[in-house]
Amino acid sequence: MYTMSICSLLLMLFSQSVLAQNNDYIEAEYLTKESKISAKYCFNHAPNYLRIESNSLADALSHVTWSNFQTTQNLKFRYRSVRLPKGQKGCLNYQVDVKKLSQPRGSKQLNQVHADSLVITTDELLLSPSDQKYRSLPQITIHHDQQIQVSAPWRLIKQSATVTQFQIKPSPRYSEGYLAFAPLDQRNIQMGKSRLRLDIMNGDHSKNNDLIEDWVQTMAGSIVSVGQAFPLTELQILVIVTEGSGGVVPWGQVNRGGGQGVLLVVNPQHGKHRLFADWTAAHEFSHLLTPYTPNDRWLSEGFASYHQNITRLRVGLLDEATAWSKLWAGFERGHKSANEHAAPNLKLAGRKNTMQMYWGGAVIALKADVALQQQSHGRMNLSTALGELQNCCLDTGRAWSARQLFTELDRITATDVFMTLYEQVVQKEPYPDYQYLLKSLGVKKNHYGQIVLDDQAPLAHIRKKIANG
Ligand SMILES: [Zn+2]
């Protein structure tokens, strides 16, 4: 016991001294005309090796050398790793041929509309030191042409016409972040203490940028109705404007690599009404209310599917009957899908069971909301519980399991609401029951199949609290 304590203390002091000594940095230059990024990753004390995390980068990397200010030697990657002279001061230089990188998902029209722009993932530029956990994360300085700006999930340090500098933030493993090198309309949206960096890649459609800003502000602002404040202090929001026959928001995703980011592909030619009626952005921003749970997608997708409707209801984008009709329709879609291709239980529902996973998870969110209000006699609800996560758990760069997160939520609320649901429903049932619950809340359907709200129902007061936050 005693020896353990000394060991831990020594390890701690050692790690801190190593962390303190690190002044690693990355310099990169985007050479637009040559479609290349030239980069150097510099160390005071080189790690044993650097690793490639992306398949795409493995094909696009060339001109790898090590220079220690006296000599330069060629190096080769073997099995995605390059060995460095451990402990030496110097830089690994490399080039990325961006034409060999794969195009990001959801942006098929990128090349048509934004021929001069580049969108890649953070892993398509960066290499990982083998001893990263003992090092502080580096700053990255990016040099670029004057007509290009850089969008990144990392913390922005400073920016001039041709140089943009960021502090890289911690990432959960296997998470992606997006970088854009493009003519961008860059705007800051201040939301309380939070800074939302809106980067609009607009091609020739700049006349819609004020509309896009208004829309992003409304959709991002809607999640403030859960937990009092915007959940993160800083956020990258990359909007890629598209055209053509796709929907008004053909694609949206939340990224957790290198910090938090939201990517939205938008066709504003559909007009303000359709843009504000679309659920995609509300869904993506709602993801930010919970931390990254890569192995429990039912939680992440379920809680986002629940909140995309609750947040829009609270800020007046949906009326109460419409919000409940959307939730009811979703719960039914999930139930039908669970009957048709049921995974043994909700916990195991995967990509083949999308509707079961999304909407079964949304029923769990509603159940937790109702049970918390019942157990606390109205003092707490799901919004107050998730609001507390802002103080401990949202921007730490770690991944969570549902069990870990639900245990934390039980600790925060001093209840057993979350783990009871996890053990009795998520791990056991293909799909949670929702019909009786909706009836108790006073959500019913008339003969024409329209939603009617019954204020005499036993849990009608809880339904009203859900609407008002
Ligand atoms: Zn989602």
**CA pair distance 15, 56, nearest whole angstrom:** 33
- Summarize the confidence of residues 429-437 as an average pLDDT: 96
Higher pLDDT, 108 or 372: 372
**CA pair distance 287, 362, nearest whole angstrom:** 12
Looking at residue 364, what is its pLDDT? 98
Higher pLDDT, 342 or 52: 52
Same domain (yes/no): 200, 260: yes
- Summarize the confidence of residues 412-433 as an average pLDDT: 97
Range of the domain at 385: 297-468
Q: Is residue 5 part of a domain?
A: no
Q: How far is the CA of 287 from the centre of ligand 1 (A)?
A: 7
H-only helix segments in 61-199: 110-113
Q: How far is the CA of 286 from the centre of ligand 1 (A)?
A: 8
Q: How far is the CA of 290 from the centre of ligand 1 (A)?
A: 11
What tokens does 54 get? 């992306």
pLDDT at 215 over 90: yes
Same domain (yes/no): 272, 414: no
Query: Which of 287, 312, 334 corresponds to the end of one domain?
Result: 287
Same domain (yes/no): 212, 344: no
Query: Which of 287, 319, 344 corresponds to the end of one domain?
Result: 287
Q: How far is the CA of 303 from the centre of ligand 1 (A)?
A: 9
Q: How far is the CA of 358 from the centre of ligand 1 (A)?
A: 8
Q: How far is the CA of 301 from the centre of ligand 1 (A)?
A: 5
- Summarize the confidence of residues 162-177 as an average pLDDT: 91
Q: How far is the CA of 395 from the centre of ligand 1 (A)?
A: 18
Q: What is the mean pLDDT of the chain?
A: 91
Exposure class string for 122-147: b at 16+ Cβ within 10 A, else e: bbbbbbbbbeeeebebbbbbbebbee
Q: How far is the CA of 219 from the centre of ligand 1 (A)?
A: 15
Looking at residue 110, what is its pLDDT? 59
Distances (CA, A) of 354 to 5, 255, 403: 47, 19, 21
Q: How far is the CA of 253 from the centre of ligand 1 (A)?
A: 7
Q: How far is the CA of 248 from the centre of ligand 1 (A)?
A: 17
pLDDT at 12 over 90: no
Q: How far is the CA of 78 from the centre of ligand 1 (A)?
A: 36
Q: How far is the CA of 208 from the centre of ligand 1 (A)?
A: 26
Share of the chain above pLDDT 90, in %: 80
Same domain (yes/no): 145, 268: yes
Looking at residue 260, what is its pLDDT? 93
Q: Which residues pair with 188 in a beta bridge?
A: 197
Q: Which phi and psi (to 5°) does residue 238 adopt?
A: -105, 115
Same domain (yes/no): 278, 347: no
- CATH code, domain with 158: 2.60.40.3650
Q: How far is the CA of 323 from the centre of ligand 1 (A)?
A: 18
Same domain (yes/no): 345, 462: yes
- Summarize the confidence of residues 212-228 as an average pLDDT: 95
78: DSSP letter: B
Higher pLDDT, 70 or 230: 230
Q: Is residue 412 part of a domain?
A: yes
pLDDT at 113 over 90: no
pLDDT at 3 over 50: no
Q: Is residue 415 part of a domain?
A: yes
Q: How far is the CA of 304 from the centre of ligand 1 (A)?
A: 6
Pick the closest to residue 150 from 264, 240, 30 (CA basis). Answer: 30
Higher pLDDT, 423 or 79: 423
Question: What is the domain count for the chain?
Answer: 2
Q: Is residue 424 part of a domain?
A: yes
Share of the chain above pLDDT 70, in %: 92
Same domain (yes/no): 141, 251: yes
Q: How far is the CA of 298 from the centre of ligand 1 (A)?
A: 10
Q: Is residue 19 part of a domain?
A: no
pLDDT at 22 over 70: no
Query: Which of 252, 287, 322 corresponds to the end of one domain?
Result: 287
3-state secondary structure of 336: helix
Q: How far is the CA of 281 from the centre of ligand 1 (A)?
A: 10
Q: What's the helix, strand, coil split of the chain in %, to 5? A: 40, 25, 35
pLDDT at 270 over 90: yes
pLDDT at 301 over 80: yes
Q: How far is the CA of 307 from the centre of ligand 1 (A)?
A: 11
Q: How far is the CA of 392 from the centre of ligand 1 (A)?
A: 22
Q: How far is the CA of 284 from the centre of ligand 1 (A)?
A: 6
Which range, of 151-165, 199-213, 255-269, averages the lowest pLDDT? 199-213
Pick the closest to residue 263 from 251, 279, 248, 250 (CA basis). Answer: 251
pLDDT in tens, 352-387: 899 999 999 999 999 999 999 999 999 999 999 999
Q: How far is the CA of 56 from the centre of ligand 1 (A)?
A: 24
Same domain (yes/no): 280, 305: no
Looking at residue 105, what is its pLDDT? 52
Q: Is residue 7 part of a domain?
A: no
Looking at residue 431, what is its pLDDT? 97
Same domain (yes/no): 232, 310: no
78-86: long-range contacts at Cβ-Cβ below 8 A with a sequence spacing of 24 or more? 80/51, 80/52, 81/49, 81/50, 81/51, 81/52, 81/130, 82/49, 82/50, 82/127, 83/48, 83/49, 84/43, 84/46, 84/47, 84/48, 84/49, 84/50, 85/46, 86/45, 86/46, 86/47, 86/48
Looking at residue 450, what is its pLDDT? 95
Q: How far is the CA of 232 from the centre of ligand 1 (A)?
A: 18
Q: What strand order describes the sheet that includes 139-143? A: 72-74, 61-67, 90-97, 36-43, 25-31, 139-143, 163-167, 155-159
pLDDT at 106 over 70: no
Q: How far is the CA of 318 from the centre of ligand 1 (A)?
A: 20
H-only helix segments in 393-451: 402-413, 417-421, 435-441
pLDDT at 6 over 50: no
pLDDT at 111 over 60: no
Q: How far is the CA of 64 from the centre of ligand 1 (A)?
A: 38
pLDDT at 137 over 60: yes
Same domain (yes/no): 269, 388: no
Residue 437 binned pLDDT confidence (cut-offs 50, 70, 90) = very high
Q: How far is the CA of 295 from the centre of ligand 1 (A)?
A: 14
pLDDT in tens, 319-356: 999 999 999 999 999 999 998 878 999 999 988 899 99
Q: How far is the CA of 283 from the centre of ligand 1 (A)?
A: 6
pLDDT at 11 over 50: no
- Summarize the confidence of residues 242-270 as an average pLDDT: 91
pLDDT at 107 over 60: no
Q: Is residue 270 part of a domain?
A: yes
376: DSSP letter: T
Euclidean distance between the first and final Cα of the chain, in Å?
49
Q: How far is the CA of 6 from the centre of ligand 1 (A)?
A: 45
- Summarize the confidence of residues 194-219 as an average pLDDT: 92
